[in-house]
Copies of this chain bind each other. A is one copy, B any other.
Amino acid sequence: MRVVIASCSVDYSGRLNAHLPLATRLLMVKADGSVLVHSDGGSYKPLNWMSPPCRLDVAEPSEEEAATGVDAVWTVQHTKNDDRLVVRIHEVLADHSVDLGVDPGLVKDGVEAHLQKLLAEQIDILGPGHQLMRREYPTAIGPVDILARDEDGTAVAVEIKRRGEIDGVEQLTRYLELLNRDPLLAPVRGVFAAQEIKPQARVLAGDRGIRCVVLDYDAMRGIDDVDSRLF
């Protein structure tokens, strides 16, 4: 890993063209040759970058470039396509190299999969008398998150999202269309379950006869913990 702080201008060409005027920025060169151009703000996304696999070449500036104060020209060329990043370095304020080694990596916990597991275990959140048929019920266009039966024995297809938005309702609609063609299952009701459901999604779901259920993740996790302690 090499970190350079320098005044520079940057040009990217590839899927689009983009230009950064001359200013002082942080340049990060990773071991795989990828380059990140960061300013002192924004978010974690760099102003400009080149993803691996790519190759960094450092060259002398042309006379023309040198006349405008360019000290070096970095060309970062993607190995598999025409994406190219050109960094024209004017003044270098700092230049550090360090060997970081391979990172042991991130350990994550608690996403949509967890919601699905918890809801499968606590299926009566959908209403008393509900029975789980199975998780990840396979269909031709992909698996339905949860398939259950309500107290009357009617099949219920559940789509789970962390944030319920309009495309989640569309997805569930496609599943319902398909499932309702199966005479062994039909009629199948739809339930859209999420920690948070956007108003537009709620309206669309209502319009299609799909029930919305807001999931309380902390409460579900709490019950899960209590259950776990019983064993």
Contacts and interface: CB of A to CB of B under 8 A. Distances in A.
A36 B42 CA distance: 11
Contacts of A99: 40
A230 to B, nearest CB: 23
Contacts of A119: none
A222 to B, nearest CB: 15
Interface residues of A, number: 52
A96 B34 CA distance: 22
Interface in A1-60: 1, 3, 5, 16-21, 23-26, 28, 30-32, 34, 36, 38-49, 51-52
B24 A101 contact: yes
A25 B100 contact: yes
Contacts of A34: 43-44
A216 interface: no
A43 B51 contact: yes
Nearest to A38: B28
A96 B40 CA distance: 14
Given A25-B103, A100-B25, A170-B167, A30 B41 contact: yes
Contact of A41 (B3, B16, B103, B167): B103
Contact of A106 (B47, B102, B103): B47
A186 to B, nearest CB: 20
Question: 4 tightest CB-CB pairs across the interface, nearest first?
Answer: A39-B103, A40-B100, A16-B110, A1-B40
Given A5-B98, A16-B111, A26-B100, 10 more contacts: A1-B40, A20-B103, A21-B107, A26-B28, A40-B103, A43-B51, A44-B46, A94-B98, A96-B96, A167-B170
12 contacts: A1-B5, A1-B40, A16-B109, A19-B106, A21-B107, A24-B98, A31-B40, A40-B99, A43-B51, A44-B49, A47-B103, A94-B96
